[in-house]
């Protein structure tokens, strides 16, 4: 099994960190292929230690694994150094970390523009993480980005930053009435920072392909989630990259035919951070209960997550657009104690019943969930280790999700610990 993709099948925060960590040990390589330090992966190691990873692949916690920040990722040098140092302070060996020479850098002007743009948008804001992700990807596509390899060539770096900053400063000063950034300060700072990781900047595309040729296995770790994909998500309330499985090939430089399995991570209910439509969102005390019971607070930003029932329409959609072969269902334990558990099986859009994602943004904004009630369970699931340990009603809930989404559930999470997983 040469390359496996692990992808969030909702709006992110499905518990991918745990899945990567569980699988990471089986792989020689764990690769991040998009996003940046907007991600937040919580991993609890076997010795009970809690890690919140942002930019560095979750495989860093599995000794001996090589961890690649792929070409599709946007890298904030300051955030990288901080995260790397934080891991080292806790005794994690980061020597297996590699950074693609083609990954783009998040510069201070990207962060500044992200924040002022959001403020400027007012009510129409995306609710970004404010980490400069969108502006860095904008520059990549506009062909004025700065790449990791540029850090190794001071002359080129000067030229690129100078060209980019000229326009950025005009925007910051003339459009947003902000202070201009000093070119020398920007370049000197990033060069100083790069000393901490320059030797890790390599041709990861070549290395990954050579690893595949040697028969080694790769785990391609998606960040955010399917519905936050810039092409397939709830545009414009999305991130600026392609978390979906197709992005794994582009963002790492391996052929799509090398990917033989796509694991979709689905949470047993739904959450979303930031703005945008969310049909099954619960704005009442039930939503508050899910947030509290599920500990639904952003790892990275500390923002409270919006919570709602499981939405099988988006689940089915995610299975299709990613080619999901099997599902890791997380946080099933959170739903214990409910008389019945609603599952959204379709929508009513402007008086019409629809079973698939509405084609237009307005259609999705108008989607009212159609629920099916599943009998609930009161048992604490956190100690369940096998399928047979689950109450029959919890089993039926999982089976209904399989039927509705069209993908088999191969693993079930019943708590944050590595051992709190049922494999089928
Ligand atoms: P950006 O990625 O910071 O540009 O934010 C765009 C949207 O993606 C916002 O709604 C964010 O809340 C959301 N987002 C970004 N990263 C994550 C994540 O790791 N989990 C969940 N939502 C995210």
CATH 3.40.440.10 in the chain, residues?
3-100+201-263
Q: Which of 13, 139, 229, 311 is catalytic?
A: 13
**C-alpha 379 – ligand 1 centre gap (Å):** 34
Q: Please, which pLDDT band fits residue 23 given cuts at 50, 70 and 90?
A: confident
pLDDT higher than threshold 70 for residue 24? no
As a whole number, mean pLDDT of residues 299-321 equals 94
Distance, C-alpha 411 to centroid of its chain = 19
* Residue stretches of the annotated binding site: 12-18, 38-42, 129, 143, 224, 239, 299-305, 331-333, 413-415
Q: Which of 84, 140, 168, 232 is catalytic?
A: 140
Neighbours of 407 (CB within 10 A): 25
* Residue stretches of the annotated binding site for Mg(2+): 13, 40
Q: For 224-267, what is each residue's pLDDT tens digit?
A: 999 999 999 999 999 999 999 999 999 999 999 999 999 999 99
pLDDT averaged over every residue in the chain: 95
CATH 3.90.170.10 in the chain, residues?
267-423
Domain 104-194 has CATH 3.40.50.1820: no
Domain 3-100+201-263 has CATH 1.10.3720.10: no
Ligand 1, atom 1: closest residue by C-alpha: 128
**C-alpha 274 – ligand 1 centre gap (Å):** 7
Instruction: Give pLDDT, residue 415.
Output: 94
Residues contacting ligand 1 via CB (< 6 Å): 12-13, 38-40, 126-129, 131, 133-134, 223-224, 228, 237, 239-240, 273-274
- Least confident window among 28-42, 74-88, 145-159: 28-42
CATH H-level superfamily of 267-423: Adenylosuccinate Synthetase, subunit A, domain 3 (3.90.170.10)
Q: For 187-214, what is each residue's pLDDT tens digit?
A: 999 999 999 999 999 999 999 999 999 9
Residue to substitute in 20, 36, 37, 38 for testing ligand 1 pocket (most ligand atoms within 8 angstroms of CB): 38
- Least confident window among 22-26, 274-278, 321-325: 22-26
Instruction: Give pLDDT, residue 1.
Output: 64
Neighbours of 242 (CB within 10 A): 26
pTM of the complete model: 0.95
CATH 1.10.300.10 in the chain, residues?
104-194
Instruction: Give pLDDT, residue 20.
Output: 76
As a whole number, mean pLDDT of residues 410-422 equals 92
As a whole number, mean pLDDT of residues 138-149 equals 97
- Least confident window among 42-51, 87-96, 264-273: 42-51
* Residue stretches of the annotated binding site for GTP: 12-18, 40-42, 305, 331-333, 413-415
Q: Please, which pLDDT band fits residue 151 given cuts at 50, 70 and 90?
A: very high
């Amino acid at each position: 099994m040469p390359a496996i993709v692990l992808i969030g099948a909702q709006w992110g925060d499905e518990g991918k960190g745990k899945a990567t960590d569980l699988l990471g040990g089986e792989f020689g390589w764990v690769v991040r292929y998009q996003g940046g330090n907007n991600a937040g992966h919580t991993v609890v190691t076997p010795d009970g230690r809690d890690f919140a990873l942002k930019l560095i692949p979750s495989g860093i916690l599995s000794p001996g694994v090589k961890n690649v920040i792929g070409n599709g990722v946007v890298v904030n040098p300051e955030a990288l150094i901080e995260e790397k140092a934080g891991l080292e302070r806790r005794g994690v060996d980061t020597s297996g970390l590699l950074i693609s020479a083609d990954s783009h850098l998040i510069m201070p002007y990207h962060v500044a523009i992200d924040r002022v743009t959001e403020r400027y948008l007012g009510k129409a804001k995306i609710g970004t993480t404010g980490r400069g992700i969108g502006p860095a990807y904008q520059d990549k596509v506009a062909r004025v980005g700065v790449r990791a390899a540029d850090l190794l060539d001071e002359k080129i770096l000067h030229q690129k930053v100078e060209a980019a900053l000229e326009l950025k400063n005009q925007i910051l000063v003339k459009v947003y009435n902000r202070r201009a950034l000093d070119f020398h300060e920007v370049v000197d700072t990033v060069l100083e920072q790069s000393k901490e990781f320059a030797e890790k900047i390599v041709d990861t595309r070549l290395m990954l392909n050579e690893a595949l040729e040697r028969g080694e296995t790769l785990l391609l770790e998606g960040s955010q989630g399917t519905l936050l994909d810039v092409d397939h998500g709830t545009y414009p309330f999305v991130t600026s990259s392609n978390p979906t499985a197709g992005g794994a090939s582009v963002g790492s430089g391996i052929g799509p035919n090398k990917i033989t399995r796509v694991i979709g991570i689905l949470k047993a209910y739904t959450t979303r951070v930031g703005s945008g439509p969310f049909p099954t969102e619960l704005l009442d005390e039930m939503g508050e209960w899910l947030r509290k019971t599920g500990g639904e607070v952003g790892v990275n930003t500390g923002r409270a997550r919006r919570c709602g029932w499981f939405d099988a329409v988006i689940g089915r959609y995610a299975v299709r657009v990613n080619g999901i072969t099997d599902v890791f269902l997380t946080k099933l334990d959170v739903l214990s104690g409910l008389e019945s558990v609603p599952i959204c099986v379709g929508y009513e859009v402007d008086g019409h019943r629809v079973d698939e994602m509405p084609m237009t943004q307005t259609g999705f904004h108008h989607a009212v969930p159609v629920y099916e009630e599943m009998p609930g369970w009161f048992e604490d699931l956190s100690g369940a280790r096998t399928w047979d340990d689950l109450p029959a009603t919890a089993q039926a809930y999982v089976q209904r999700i399989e039927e509705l989404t069209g993908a088999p559930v191969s693993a079930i999470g019943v708590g944050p610990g590595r051992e709190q997983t049922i494999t089928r």
